[in-house]
Amino acid sequence: MIKKNIYLLVVFIACFSYAQKKDTKVLFVIVDGIPADVIEKVYTPNLDKIAREGGYTRAYVGGEKDKYSQTPTISAVGYNSLLTGTWANKHNVWGNSIKKPNYNYWTIFRMAKAYRPELKTAIFSTWLDNRTKLVGDGLSETGHIKLDYVFDGYEHDTINFPHDKKAMYIHKIDEHVVEKASDCIKENAPDLSWIYLEYTDDMGHRFGDSDQFHDAVKIADKQIGKVWKAINYRRKQFNESWEIFITTDHGRDKETGQGHGGQSERERLTWIVTNAKNLNGYFKTKEPGIVDIMPTMMRTLNIEPKKEQLWEIDGVPLTGKISLSNAKATNSESKLYITWDVIDSKGKVKIWVSTENDFNTGGTDAYKLLKKADIKKGQATIDVSKLPSNFYKIVLEANHNTINTWVVIK
Ligand SMILES: [Zn+2]
């Protein structure tokens, strides 16, 4: 009798803790090439509705301008910065031809599959290369990662989506992708999904700042509204928790609104809309980067990568507690001058330095702990006279998060 009671108690506790640990599902959407001023000007009721649950912020792409992490404001480059949480100096995608991505910097999908293999992943995309080249679906270099639900490649289906000069077929593919995403969310509720929509960028390139471009943004808003409806269906019917991040991969040039790729303010200035509840002070008071979305999603999905991987990520989480952001470092003679933005002033920051970058080629770097500083100071000076090098990789490890920066001496 006692045994039986203990058994029941164990079952009860197991059920209880299972119910407590309800996972949140994550969806991120990239709508291509919409500058912040345009998303703020055009009527987007669905984005507004989502932002009311969480928030809206201006954001940036392009890495640090004129510094080692400067990154072209080009589409595939931006997508990969989102996917890997790193800038192009690490992920090595510099253009839309995606010549040689450095798969040592794992995408959010690979992180999910490696550390939470039970999570189901999905992609709904108007561009096939997002899966086959950036995520590297099925490639040996990515450990043969396989996404669970795949809806893409329609741009190569010229029977159902015949190509036309006005790019209406891209609009039709976006519509199709959104329909597939809505159905799949309603039916299968993948844990981690990516929706990519292209039509806005096509209209931007063709017409620049124009009614046509703005109409494309309104269409994208409606499409996101459909997806949001599917999410709300899951929330109501299945009592699930969902987090959505919507962003863009670059702005557009100031003069015409047609081009992008450079480092002008309008090309770098983007935005993020999310329904995430516990947005932190960094999201609310700073201007986040596209690289911040990936570590945010890892936090939500309870993905805890190896320390070496975490130390490479250039972004910081937008939700939950963080200690610091925006590490910068310069050198003069044999000293490193390091600064950071203080988000939570409590505690110390450990400053680690490596003069190698073996991670970049699949190896491990030897870091030395060179200083413990008060976070609240926002700066530290380190004597590296005994560590002469033309290259320093600096990691700031704090209570709630870790950030990194490089010094490259030419
Ligand atoms: Zn783009």
Tell me the pLDDT tens digit for each residue of 166-179: 999 999 999 999 99
Q: Is 168 helix (H, G, I), strand (E, B) or coil?
A: helix
What separation in Å is there between the alpha carbon of 342 and the centre of ligand 1? 32
Read off the pLDDT of each residue in 4-25 and give the average, rounded to a whole number.
57
In a domain, 332, yes or no: yes
Phi, then psi, of 23 in degrees rounded to 5? -75, 150
User: Domain boundary at 247, 275, 310, which?
Assistant: 310
CATH number of the CATH domain containing 240 = 3.40.720.10
The per-residue pLDDT for range 99-134, each reduced to its tens digit, is 999 999 999 999 999 999 999 999 999 999 999 999
pLDDT at position 22 is 72
Is the same domain home to 347 and 289?
no
> DSSP label at 85?
S
Tell me, in angstroms, the distance from the centre of ligand 1 to residue 265's CA: 16
Q: Where are the beta strands (DSSP E) in 248-323?
A: 269-274
pLDDT for the residue numbered 291? 98
Asked if the structure places residue 354 within a domain, the reply is yes
Same domain as 244, residue 148: yes
Domain co-membership, 79 together with 202: yes
pLDDT digits (tens, 9 = 90+) for 203-238: 999 999 999 999 999 999 999 999 999 999 999 999
16 domain residue, yes or no: no
**What is the Å distance from ligand 1's center to 249 Cα?**
5
Query: Which range of residues forms the domain containing residue 384?
Result: 324-408
Question: What's the gap in Å between 373 CA and the centre of ligand 1?
Answer: 41
Please report whether residue 257 resides in a domain.
yes
Report the share of the chain in percent with pLDDT over 90: 94
Boundary (domain end) residue, out of 310, 334, 362: 310
Evaluate if residue 17 carries a pLDDT over 60.
no
pLDDT at 20: 46
Banded model confidence at residue 341, pLDDT cuts 50, 70, 90: very high
Assign residue 400 the CATH number of its domain.
Answer: 2.60.40.10
CA 248 to centroid of ligand 1, rounded, Å: 8
Owner of token pair 């500083």: 373
The whole-number pLDDT of residue 315 equals 98
Total domains present in the chain: 2
Whether pLDDT at 2 is above 60: no
Mark whether 306 and 363 lie in a shared domain. Answer: no
CA of 182 to the centre of ligand 1 (A): 23
Q: Say if 360 falls within a structural domain.
A: yes
pLDDT tens column, 53-79 = 999 999 999 999 999 999 999 999 999
The rounded Å distance from CA 302 to ligand 1 centre is 30
Residue 76 C-alpha to ligand 1 middle, in angstroms? 7
**CA of 128 relative to ligand 1 center, distance in Å:** 14
Q: Does 149 map to a domain?
A: yes
User: How many residues belong to the chain?
Assistant: 410
Question: Where is average pLDDT lowest: 3-12, 260-269, 397-406?
Answer: 3-12
Q: Which of the listed residues 250, 275, 310 is the one where a domain comes to its end? A: 310
CA atoms within 13 Å, Cβ hemisphere of 260: 35
Residues 107 and 234 in one domain: yes
In a domain, 7, yes or no: no
Q: What pLDDT does 10 receive?
A: 52
Same-domain check for residues 364 and 266: no
Mean pLDDT of 133-139: 98
Q: CA 196, 197, 203, 204: dihedral to nearest 10 degrees? A: -40
Residue 1 has pLDDT above 80, yes or no: no
DSSP strand pairing (24-31 vs 192-197): parallel
352 and 244 belong to one structural domain: no
* Ligand 1 centre distance from Cα of residue 73 (Å): 8
